[in-house]
Structure 1
Amino acid sequence: MTQVGEFDNVGSTATNVADGFTMIAVGDLMMRRPITKNERNGFGDIAEILRSADATFGNLETNIFDIRAFNGSPQAEHGGSYHVGPPELGPDLKTMGFNLLALANNHTFDWGVEGTRQTGRVLDQIGIIHAGAGENLAQAGAARYLETARGRVALVSFAATFTPMSRACDPAGEAPGRPGLATLRLTHCILVPPEMLESLRRIRKSLPDSILGRDDGDRVVLAGATFKTGEKVGYSFEPDPRDIRDILRNVRQGKQFADFLIVTNHGHEPGEWSQEPPDYEQSLAYKLIDAGADAYVGHGPHQLRGIEIYRGRPIFYSLGNFIFDNLQTVEGSDFFSEYGKDPRVDTVADLLAHAMNEQQFQGTEFYESIVTVSRFEQNQLAELRLFPVELGYSERLADRGVPRLAPRPHAEAILARLQRLSKAFGTHIIIENGVGVIRVTSSSGVHSIACSGRTTDSS
């Protein structure tokens, strides 16, 4: 029998917000300059949507500091370019309506510890809550909190794709901790048929450094690559159980001190070419929601992936690029060298245009995204509204990458693609006047299967 004053709900994973609570989530923010002051770029209509929510979230893939006074340096490792923007980006993000940002991604340490610290200081000064990076692993992985009129919101951020030296660690005895990111380490495997695996095993055993008597079971490690048996050739990813343990604890603790919790994962797996999430991600999203997450937001592959509703909570497998501004005036010399360019001859714009072609970001899908608006009533997700945006794929480089609401035909084409990508998850998206709508009610044909909690479409 529960006694008066006994803490009997400390482990509750239930949503606990006031009716009408709204969460807006978008994808990657690769910003190089402020955009809200430009009245010609069409961003104003989107800003009105962003400012309408209780919690507005995005993934910040840009360091923020004044390069003229910067005491750090570009690192030997980078996330694919050295992303940086001026201090004015902070107030610009605030003006847009963002109050929650993820910092755990492959660009966080482009400019080292000092670049990350400077970015955090800018965000702290303007009151934007950020998570995913810290002075050690405990700080990087911890939930951070936003106070809103309808409830306290927590954010837990981690990255499955990251530069090796950017991973944070905790102290061990006399060894101090290391600043960096909260990460989810993955073992990358290549799936091959059994007969192909046997051929690889014979090759490995023929090599001079083969270890006699060693049995690899269902896998073979050859030249640093791990191969294992699968029904068809492809890629598989195995999360590190230690990282999963830490992340689930951070989620559980975050929810104990909040009314609503967002978990966000930055991962490029299996690659930018894929419109489907990696094989580990669905089960991970389920575990996170079971532990207390009210929304799972994935980003990283630079294009949209499907949406799923699990136990009445949204899972966004990727929200693509929200701001994909590649007009940068500063770039590390290593990046020039990687593409055979010379900073004494070639401009940064020359380099970036060449790199974008080499990295195969030329498809329109990399310049199409959505603004997601999740509305909760009686602590249940009642409706998801999806506003399609386009980032000016046909514009010149100086104008490309800034989102604007897509015109009706283009919006419906984006939503049709998202319908197709979400169908595999049993999600039914209705298109109404160029806006996608997911209604999570019994009358809409979306319901939960009791045995698994997975949402299906009965239509």
Structure 2
Amino acid sequence: MTRRIGFTGDVMLGRLVDDRQRSRPVDAVWGTVSDRLHRLDALVINLECVLSARGRQWRRTHRPFHFRADPDWAVPALERAGVDVCALANNHVLDYEEVALRDTLEHLDEAGIARTGAGETIDEALEPAVLTVDGSAEEGDEYEGGEGEKRDDRGLELAVVSFTDNTPEYAADEKSPGTAWVDIDVDDEQTRRRVREALERARESDPDLLVASLHWGPNMVTEPPDSFREFGRWLIDEGVDLIHGHSAHVFQGVEVRDGCPIVYDAGDFVDDYAVDAELHNDRSFLFVLSVAPEKRGDGTTWRPTELRLEPIEIDDCAVHEASSDAADWSRDRMRELSSPFGTAFERDGEALVLSLDA
């Protein structure tokens, strides 16, 4: 049966979000999107904060913002949403120094939430998040094997690697904790070597779907630079099935290469950030990838068939299904930003749908 895997932009649970959550139910941060999250077979997020009650603010270099959430509510909230993977290669995992990063790693591990992109050393930061995405047969599911073939309900094997080009002072090395930092440049030998090492580790699990989650580029930029487009296409050529981009706080266009989607930036999913009246960083989508089984030879392979963009908006430090006006704006904006890539969406209810069938 088809598996539905959700991807979000930045999930920042600190500051005012943390304050609000101390006086409301644990899952209130997911607002009216909670049921949609529960219906997914897996959920991958960029966690834009640390989960800790310890540490002091990073002062070794100038950092204007520091994000930390109380794990007593934040970890249960991630569990309630069904978060399966946290990408940690970003510019906030050392906001409260090493002790808070270590707490974050420990809390996620204890909750059974897979993580990638940060660790005690660069070796750990390069380790992929690997999980089996199970599903249950539902009415209307279609099996694409031949007539008389037995349905294969084995789980889909998902592997996620995570990198960032933000905040090089947070980069892990052989002895120090931090992020899987790279320069977004396909001509850089060290970048190619580091990325290929992570991809090779991910392939050891023989994944059916390989995802690269990238926290790249500056804030409030609506279009990816040529270097990002080149890097994203190179990753697809290296065997990645989906690029999950984030960092700009506003969504960018979607490109398809060889049937594989490149989400250049998924925008924000929940936070307390000031809203730009023109760029609307409070509006984005829940990106849902459908992956279907297909009988080939003696086994079953999986292939992405559809990317569905479900409009959301942030209000009162929580994520909600977008209002009619906000959804209209987001759909029009996504079409405008994706058009230069030759990407055309269909409309299905409030959502935009992109067919990935060859």
> TM-score, structure 1 length as denominator?
0.66
What secondary structure, in the 3-state scheme, does the structure 1 residue paired with 2:56 have?
Answer: coil
C-alpha separation in 2, matches of 1:136 and 1:106: 16
Name 1:29's counterpart in structure 2.
Answer: 11
Name 2:262's counterpart in structure 1.
Answer: 315
What secondary structure, in the 3-state scheme, does the structure 2 residue paired with 1:104 have?
Answer: coil
Name 1:246's counterpart in structure 2.
Answer: 194
- Report the CA distance shift for 1:259/1:275 in structure 2 as closer, same or farther (over 3 A): same
2:313 matches 1:390? yes
Shift of 1:438: 1.0
Task: Please point out which of 209, 228, 239 is paired with 1:260.
Answer: 209
2:285 matches 1:370? yes
2:159 matches 1:154? yes
Per-residue displacement from partner, 1:88-126 (whole Å, max 9, x unpaired)? 201101101211111111111111111110011111111
C-alpha separation in 1, matches of 2:230 and 2:337: 18
8 A Cα contact 1:36 1:43, kept in partner:
no
C-alpha separation in 2, matches of 1:48 and 1:300: 26
2:117 matches 1:132? yes
Shift of 1:385: 1.2
C-alpha separation in 1, matches of 2:107 and 2:311: 30
What secondary structure, in the 3-state scheme, does the structure 2 residue paired with 1:145 have?
Answer: strand
- Percent sequence identity is 27
8 A Cα contact 2:27 2:80, kept in partner:
no
8 A Cα contact 1:41 1:404, kept in partner:
no
2:355 matches 1:439? yes
Shift of 1:74: 1.3
Structure of greater Rg: 1
Shift of 1:23: 1.4
C-alpha separation in 2, matches of 1:260 and 1:36: 39
Q: Say how many residue pairs are matched.
A: 322
C-alpha separation in 2, matches of 1:141 and 1:40: 31
C-alpha separation in 1, matches of 2:105 and 2:229: 31
C-alpha separation in 1, matches of 2:30 and 2:79: 14
8 A Cα contact 2:3 2:133, kept in partner:
no
Task: Please point out which of 165, 168, 171 is paired with 2:172.
Answer: 168
8 A Cα contact 1:255 1:293, kept in partner:
no
Name 2:41's counterpart in structure 1.
Answer: 54
8 A Cα contact 2:32 2:319, kept in partner:
no
8 A Cα contact 1:382 1:439, kept in partner:
yes
Name 1:174's counterpart in structure 2.
Answer: none
8 A Cα contact 2:158 2:209, kept in partner:
yes
Question: What pairs up with 1:171-186 in 2 under 5 angstroms?
Answer: 177-185=175-183
C-alpha separation in 1, matches of 2:79 and 2:23: 10
- Report the CA distance shift for 1:390/1:166 in structure 2 as closer, same or farther (over 3 A): same
2:61 matches 1:75? no
8 A Cα contact 1:36 1:92, kept in partner:
no
Name 2:32's counterpart in structure 1.
Answer: 45
- Report the CA distance shift for 1:146/1:40 in structure 2 as closer, same or farther (over 3 A): closer
Question: What pairs up with 1:390-429 in 2 under 5 angstroms?
Answer: 390-392=313-315, 399=316, 401-429=317-345
2:120 matches 1:120? no
Task: Please point out which of 50, 53, 62 is paired with 1:63.
Answer: 50
Q: Please provide the CA RMSD for this pair.
A: 2.3
Per-residue displacement from partner, 1:225-282 (whole Å, max 9, x unpaired)? xxxxxxxxxxxx67632022211221133023122221111012xx334211122112
What secondary structure, in the 3-state scheme, does the structure 1 residue paired with 2:280 have?
Answer: helix
Per-residue displacement from partner, 1:144-203 (whole Å, max 9, x unpaired)? 2122222221110110112x3211112xxxxxx2211101125xxxxxxxxxxxxxxxxx
| Counterpart amino acid of residue 343 in structure 2 | T
C-alpha separation in 2, matches of 1:108 and 1:39: 22
5+ residue gaps, structure 1? 1-18, 171-176, 187-236, 327-355, 393-398, 442-446, 448-459
Name 2:87's counterpart in structure 1.
Answer: 102
C-alpha separation in 2, matches of 1:414 and 1:309: 19
